[in-house]
Amino acid sequence: SQQGEEDPQALSIQEGENATMNCSYKTSINNLQWYRQNSGRGLVHLILIRSNEREKHSGRLRVTLDTSKKSSSLLITASRAADTASYFCAYSYGNNRLAFGKGNQVVVIP
């Protein structure tokens, strides 16, 4: 199946620290997106990076994309307790279907 892979899968950090998550994929993509999911709830879209872009910023988020290595990273700077959630990368391919990784669980300790 076309599934992305995130690394690491669980991350525990102190408030104010930065959190970095990586994601890899296996096919040509239209774009790559990162979503956040709080426990048992729906997915919140965070940021989209197109296949011809290398880096993108949105507030405290920074996403990079390396299509030669088929990998992406999400950096959350100056983390807050409210950032505690699961983070998923999802890449768009073919007819814009999304293939998700298993997710990173991030716990920010106040």
Partner 1 sequence: DTGVSQDPRHKITKRGQNVTFRCDPISEHNRLYWYRQTLGQGPEFLTYFQNEAQLEKSRLLSDRFSAERPKGSFSTLEIQRTEQGDSAMYLCASSLGLAGGEETQYFGPGTRLLVL
Site residues, partner 1 (CB under 8 A): 1, 3-4, 30-31, 33, 35, 40-45, 48, 50-52, 88, 90, 92, 95-103
Cis amide leading into 110 (omega within 30): no
15 vs 56, beta carbon nearer partner 1: 56
To partner 1, the closest distance from the beta carbon of 16 in angstroms equals: 28
Separation of CA 11 from chain center: 13
Residue with tokens 């890449």: 91
Return the amino acid letter for 70.
Answer: K
To partner 1, the closest distance from the beta carbon of 96 in angstroms equals: 5
Other CB atoms within a 10 A radius of the CB of residue 83 amount to: 18
Q: Is the dihedral of CA 102, 55, 60, 45 positive or negative?
A: negative
To partner 1, the closest distance from the beta carbon of 42 in angstroms equals: 4
24 vs 92, beta carbon nearer partner 1: 92
18 vs 45, beta carbon nearer partner 1: 45
